[in-house]
Amino acid sequence: MPHSPLPTDLVDRLVPSDVQPTEHWETTYPQRDLPDGAQVTRFAPSPTGFIHIGGVYVAMIAKSVAVSSGGSYLVRIEDTDQNRHLESALDQFARAFAAFGIEPTEAPDAAWAPYEQSRRAPIYHSYVRELLLRGAAYPCFCTSEELAELTKRQQAAKEPTGYWGPWAKCRDLPEAEVAERIASETFVIRFRSPDEDTRFSYVDAIRGRLEMGDNRNDIVILKSSANDVRLPTYHLAHVVDDHLMRVTLVIRGDEWISSVPVHTQLFRALDLDPVEYAHIAPLMKLDGSSRRKLSKRKDPEASVDFYLAHGYPTAGVLHYLRSLANGRLAEMPTAQALAEPIRIEECNVAGPLVDLMKLSSICKDVIGDMSAAEIYDDLHAWAAEHDADVVSMLRDKERAIAALEVERVDTERIRKDLGAWSDFKPAYSFFFPGYFSPVDDAADERFQGLDPAVVRSVAERFAASYETRDSAEEWFGQVRETALALGMAASVKEYKAEPDRYTGSIREAANVLRVLITGSSRSPDLFQVCRVLGADEVVRRVRAVVAAS
């Protein structure tokens, strides 16, 4: 892009003359001593809102690729948009990084620091200055009103919108006019694109060779001179930082594919080797019969805080996300799936669907493999931030662990009713007397239409002689004795054969007791539940329906 550069004295007025030459930064930031095939990757979030789960997805892939290749993974905070900077976003970043294991492998003071773009302004000024001196950049004095009018005229003329070619009114201003306007007007610095209607192609590490129109826009690379600290736009900062931090593979969302031409032009204009790109397909959601991108505005599950608030175990979320990236990881045990490397070449070009049912299923397996004591510890840590009621329940640690061990100890089929820590309260609160409301209405629908008089009779008879028993068989014998004493059939088959002879069967009697003891017609093994509750509490609950009659 040959073009007569501005004289040095004029460039000194556009960008500070006391910045270091680019050669200084080339020697300040060393090349990395890495084994052959090692990749240096990065995650570069912008603190302008919450982290999308898609960001965790990309970061997880980037970290796995770097670590498994013997390379390095860094996190760079792209905070050049100071007007939209949110301190709360940085707090969420810290939570998400820790929760999902996407912290950088490099220390904050490593040789390639700082990792916050707002602290790297002098570096960017050096490279902007270099572009100005090469004639590859120029000042633009257009106001927002002028740019809006330009867009209207382009639309009316059915021309591509943007600042390019004959529409770039500041592109070839005379030096004298530039010198005069600098003194009284604000300005930005724009990159001088080749402005050629040509095609561009590159090889994407996931998608193979892609071809598109080359960039013709003279993009802004340094923001308005009205700012106290002039920061670059994403485009220039990305190119400079990825080069100086010696990134070898940029893994990012596919919405950035259209930016590859301009980024490549910037690399070339600075005589830098372009990095390799791998563009990840976005996470998708079914909306009726169609698919769409998971949306920050529409979908609560798009936010990282959704997963933290619900208490999905980290291992389960990571296993699920890894299975979306590489399908071969889906059927592996979680420990193996987390240890296996993610292969960038196995990532699909079609966006995977986020399925919370599948996520819950994986998390149930993860929690199912934990001991009751491990569940208690993780549950308590989650509840301390998210649910005061659960904290209160867990104060009775002995009862809580005993409840968690129901159908988990000495059983071939482990109970899997927790897919997230937020499932604990609805699934386990009946174990805690302070959170259980006794059933006192004999006509309650949970008794499935059984005569209320029979319900009360079952409750009264069972409570009158109830004792804690050592075996399930002995315990269930009490249910059988109650049912038979009340003229109920010993089996469902007998009851169906002669329904007029019986008031119900032993199954109906067992359901009455299950509802009275747990509040539900579906519950874990009733014998084990009653051992946790103790005889006094069992009798108190069963008698509630009798006392109310």
Residue 375 belongs to what domain range?
Answer: 370-433
Q: What is the C-alpha separation between 166 and 53, in angstroms, rounded? A: 42
Mean pLDDT of 470-497: 93
Dig out the tokens for 392 from the structure.
């209160």
Do 156 and 228 belong to one domain? yes
Do 510 and 527 belong to one domain? yes
Do 15 and 158 belong to one domain? yes
In a domain, 49, yes or no: no
Do 177 and 273 belong to one domain? yes
In a domain, 499, yes or no: yes
* pLDDT for the residue numbered 296: 84
Do 19 and 166 belong to one domain? yes
pLDDT in tens, 157-180: 999 999 999 999 999 999 999 999
Mutual angle of helices 356-368 and 314-325, in 10-degree steps: 130
Q: Is the pLDDT of residue 540 over 60?
A: yes
Label residue 2 by pLDDT band (50, 70, 90).
low
3-state secondary structure 328-395: HHCCCCHHHHHHCCCCHHHCCCCCCECCHHHHHHHHHHHHHCCCHHHHHHHHHHHHHHHCHHHHHHHC
CB 162 within 8 A of CB 119: no
Do 382 and 484 belong to one domain? no
Strand pairing class (208-213; 220-222): unpaired
Q: Is the pLDDT of residue 1 over 50?
A: no
**Residue 354 φ then ψ, to 5°:** -85, 120
Mutual angle of helices 506-518 and 472-485, in 10-degree steps: 110
Do 148 and 197 belong to one domain? yes
pLDDT in tens, 54-71: 999 999 999 999 999 999
Per-residue CA distances from 253 to 52, 278, 279 (Å)? 12, 8, 5
Do 384 and 512 belong to one domain? no
Q: What is the C-alpha separation between 323 and 329, in angstroms, rounded? A: 5
CB 188 within 8 A of CB 157: no
Q: What is the CATH number of the domain that holds 138?
A: 3.40.50.620
* pLDDT for the residue numbered 51: 82
Per-residue CA distances from 344 to 29, 74, 322, 337 (Å)? 27, 18, 11, 15
Helix or strand (DSSP H, E) at 253: strand 249-253
Report which of residues 366 and 81 the model is more confident about.
366
pLDDT in tens, 195-250: 888 999 999 999 999 999 999 999 999 998 777 678 999 999 999 999 999 999 99
In a domain, 44, yes or no: no
**Residue 66 φ then ψ, to 5°:** -70, -50
* pLDDT for the residue numbered 515: 97
Q: Is the pLDDT of residue 111 over 60?
A: yes
- In percent, the amount of the chain with pLDDT more than 90 equals 86
Q: What is the largest CA-CA distance in the chain?
A: 110
Q: Measured at the alpha carbon of residue 412, what is the angle toward residues 410 and 418, in degrees to the nearest 5? A: 90
* pLDDT for the residue numbered 86: 63
Running DSSP on this structure, what letter comes out for residue 413? S
Label residue 505 by pLDDT band (50, 70, 90).
very high
Helix or strand (DSSP H, E) at 327: none
Mean pLDDT of 475-483: 95
Dig out the tokens for 372 from the structure.
């009751």
In a domain, 82, yes or no: no
Dig out the tokens for 139 from the structure.
């000042």
* pLDDT for the residue numbered 13: 93
Mean pLDDT of 278-290: 94
Do 400 and 526 belong to one domain? no
Do 256 and 382 belong to one domain? no
234, 264, 280 - which closes a domain: 280
Q: What is the CATH number of the domain that holds 457?
A: 1.10.10.350
Average pLDDT, the chain: 93
433, 454, 475 - which closes a domain: 433
Q: Is the pLDDT of residue 386 over 90?
A: yes
Mean pLDDT of 360-368: 96
Do 12 and 144 belong to one domain? yes
Mean pLDDT of 413-433: 95
In a domain, 51, yes or no: no
pTM above 0.85, yes or no: yes
Do 273 and 141 belong to one domain? yes
**Residue 285 φ then ψ, to 5°:** -140, 145
In a domain, 310, yes or no: no
Dig out the tokens for 457 from the structure.
């009779």
In a domain, 254, yes or no: yes
Identity of residue 175: E
Strand pairing class (220-222; 188-191): antiparallel
In a domain, 244, yes or no: yes
Mean pLDDT of 257-267: 97
Mean pLDDT of 528-549: 94
Identity of residue 318: L
Q: Is the pLDDT of residue 530 over 90?
A: yes
Work out the burial of residue 94: count CB atoms within 10 Å of its CB; fewer than 13 is exposed, 13-18 middle, 19 or more buried. exposed
222, 247, 280 - which closes a domain: 280
Total of domains in the chain? 3
Rg, the chain, Cα only: 33
Query: What are 202's strand-pairing partners?
Result: 210
